[in-house]
Structure 1
Amino acid sequence: MGPIGIFDSGYGGLTVFREIAKKLPQYDYVYLGDNARIPYGTRSFETVYAFTKECVDQLFAMDCRLVVLACNTASAKALRTIQQVDLPLYPDLRKVLGVIRPTTEIIGDYTKTRHVGILATPGTVKSTSYPIEIHKFFPNITVYQQACPFWVPLVENNELDSPGAAYFVQADIKRLLQQSPQIDTVILACTHYPLLLPLIKQYMPPHIQVLAQGQLVANSLADYLHRHPEIEQLCTKGGTTQFFTTDSEVDFEKKAAVFYGKKIKAAPLTLG
């Protein structure tokens, strides 16, 4: 038995973890941010897989039997290989989940026009993971994607209220909506983007629903644990949380507070 592991390439996964901890406070958690090697979004599939597997193995070594990849890039580029190739090699039961499926499997409950927009990093857009997964569940939904290469740097440099943020948010939303006037639901397919929600809502037409992933992933995890008691019983319940970063813990603590919504204490961790 052990804690639930939460992995992200950096800080954005904290917006998802915040909702998970709120929904399921009884469990123990270990959060690992691979901040020393960000950004993942611009790296190849092979590199993202190698980095993600290394971090998942680290969380397994810390007694986590269930790991959530709270990162769209890792979910898009590494999750399937880890699930299909690596997990069967372990002698005991271990599970790794991502953030894409919990979002895509319920999108049909939100859209009436069956036209859905995706705002994401260039890496996630290039992977086409969202269109592929949405079409598995809802073949009649048309998906439109827009890459937003400047949004993550704006968030990580704490320029949420800057003229630059306003310019790029407005421009990328306009490019997305120009693809179809029928879009009625937009998924924020990056865990950094909830911090830009005030700006996004300012430039998004009011009739369009904007979905952030945190609450959707938290609800999905709660349902998963309910449906899989063999996994749930392996997760310890002490209400504790540990944060680790592969970079400076001082820098991590400072930025993490913005994403997590409160101050945290972190410890440095060296991989390998």
Structure 2
Amino acid sequence: MNDAIDRPIGVFDSGFGGLTVLRSLVEQLPNEDFVYLGDTARAPYGPRSIAQVREFALEGLDHLMERDVKALVIACNSASSAVLRDARERYDVPVTEVILPAASRAIAATRNGRIGVVATESTINSASYDDAFAVADILLTTQACPRFVEFVEAGITGGDELLAVAEEYLAPIKKAQCDTLILGCTHYPLLAGVIGYVLGNGVTLVSSAEACAQSTYSQLTQANLLRHQPREALRAFLTTGNADDFQGIGRRLLGGFVTNATKVTIDKENAHV
């Protein structure tokens, strides 16, 4: 087990949104090495069927396991919805996802028992958040917000068009008088400004990225896999799409956080490059 401590943590996402999870992971686990894999060639996952998302996500997670990671983070709500149970049965390392940690934080935050979730169509259709709140006395309102991803990846976080779209998407959340909103897609924390503006200060925004990072910390601690000594940690960025495009969009979204992206091929042979 001690040798396993030195291995990196694998982070999987359909594209770029999971970079917000990775940023939270780096903040909370500064001594850990990370390998991030974004399946940008087949993104977005949101409009796809659960079966197809499951197939793609397992290919990505298999690829990360081939790189000898000590833990897996499914940094994508659509993928988490599709493969969480499979992943925990399939892999012999700790597996963290973004749905249950966000639901737990929202339950702790709400004052009136009315919680909203904004997410992709795939996540909403999977009813994963409905399942996550099934044992709680919560009135849940869910809303698909497909265009939010388009705005984020275009680098647009403000302006009249985005504000109008946000007003439309968030109207059911306001009507339901939710006092807590889960940003149920890892792209959405980058739109927290406009979402908070539309909903007002009385609504608590729960980032699935931050909740996932805290859950990962807990799992690594429980498994005795956490690095404690300060060190210069390493980060590797892999993409199934164009590496230059990945690095460019990553830098536009998160500044200099993304460096040296490499294109990989995910196939039955799990080829690395």
AA paired with 1:64?
Answer: V
Does residue 1:246 correspond to 2:240, yes or no? yes
Answer yes or no: is 1:207 the counterpart of 2:212.
Answer: no
SS for the counterpart of 1:106 is helix
Cα shift at 1:187: 0.7
Cα pair 1:26 1:238 within 8 Å, conserved: yes
The residue aligned with 1:258 is: 252
Whether 1:172 and 2:169 are equivalent positions in the alignment is yes
Please name the residue that 2:133 is paired with.
Answer: 134
The answer to whether residue 99 in structure 2 is matched with residue 100 in structure 1 is yes
Q: Which amino acid aligns with 1:205?
A: G
Whole-angstrom distance in 1 between the partners of 2:210 and 2:147: 24
Partner of 2:205, secondary structure, is: strand
AA matched with 1:142: L
Please state how far the C-alpha of 1:238 moved relative to its aligned partner. 5.7
Deviation at 1:232, TM superposition (A): 4.3
Q: CA deviation at 1:184?
A: 0.8
Counterparts of residues 18-33 of structure 1 (less than 5 Å): 18-33=23-38
What is the aligned residue count? 258
After TM superposition, the runs of 4+ consecutive aligned structure 1 residues lying more than 4 A away are: none
Q: Once structures 1 and 2 are overlaid, which stretch shifts more, 214-223 or 239-248?
A: 214-223
Give the C-alpha shift of residue 226 in structure 1: 1.4
- Residues 64-94 of structure 1: CA deviation (Å, up to 9, x unaligned): 131100000000112222223x33xxxxx32
**SS of equivalent residue, structure 1 residue 68:** strand
One-letter amino acid matched to 1:175: P
Question: Within the alignment, does 1:194 sit opposite 2:189 as a pair?
Answer: yes
What is the CA RMSD across the aligned residues, in angstroms? 1.6
More moved, 155-164 vs 7-16: 155-164
- Tell me the TM-score normalized by structure 2: 0.90
CA deviation vs aligned residue, 1:104-128 (integer Å, no higher than 9, x gap): 1232210010110111111111111
Identity of counterpart residues, as a percentage? 33
- What are the Cα deviations for residues 132-177 of structure 1, in whole angstroms up to 9, with x where unaligned? 11223xx211111111121111111223223221111111111222
Choose the corresponding residue for 1:58, options 63, 87, 112: 63
Q: What secondary structure is seen at the aligned counterpart in 2 of 1:187?
A: strand
Structure 2 runs not aligned, ≥5 long: 268-273
2:86 maps to which of 81, 88, 97 = 81
Q: One-letter code of the match for 2:199?
A: M
Gap runs ≥5 in structure 1? 88-92
Which amino acid in 2 is paired with 1:71?
A: C
CA–CA distance in structure 2, aligned partners of residues 175 and 167 of structure 1: 14
Mapping of residues 113-152 of structure 1, within 5 Å = 113-136=112-135, 139-152=136-149
1:36 shift after superposition = 0.3
Equivalent residues of 1:12, 1:259 under 8 A apart = no
2:133 maps to amino acid: I
Question: Offset at 1:223?
Answer: 1.5
Residue type of the alignment partner of 1:198: G
Residue identity matched to 1:163 = D
Look up the SS of the partner of 2:55 in the other structure: helix
Contact 2:96 2:212 in 1 (8 A): no
Q: Deviations over 1:165-218 (max 9, x none)?
A: 11111111112222x23x111111010011111111111122111111222222
Instruction: Tell me the CA shift for residue 56 of structure 1.
Output: 0.5
CA contact (8 A) 2:16 2:187 kept: yes
Tell me the secondary structure at the aligned position of residue 118 of structure 2.
Answer: strand
Could you say which residue in structure 2 is the equivalent of 1:226?
Answer: 221
The answer for the alignment partner of 2:271 in structure 1 is none
Q: Secondary structure at the match of 1:39?
A: coil
